[in-house]
Amino acid sequence: IPAKTLIERAGAVGFLAGVAVEDFFPGSPNELLVAVTEKRTRSELDRFINFLKTIS
């Protein structure tokens, strides 16, 4: 799905999913840049991964 659609859906359930690469490199509508830091717990990461599985 387009990255911007994924970002919108993620935001609707409380995730800040990342940045649409297309904003910086036109022609890349399905690419998403995600960064993870030590401030995120394993549980939070698992929730995000499970969310991604439901929309792919």
The more confident residue out of 56 and 11 is 11
pLDDT tens-digit readout, 20-50:
999 999 999 999 999 999 999 999 999 999 9
Domain ranges of the chain: 3-55
Q: Output b/e per residue, 13-47; b: 16+ Cβ within 10 A.
A: eebebbebbbeeeeeeeeebeeeeeeeeeeeeeee
Tokens of 6: 């994924």
pTM of the model: 0.86
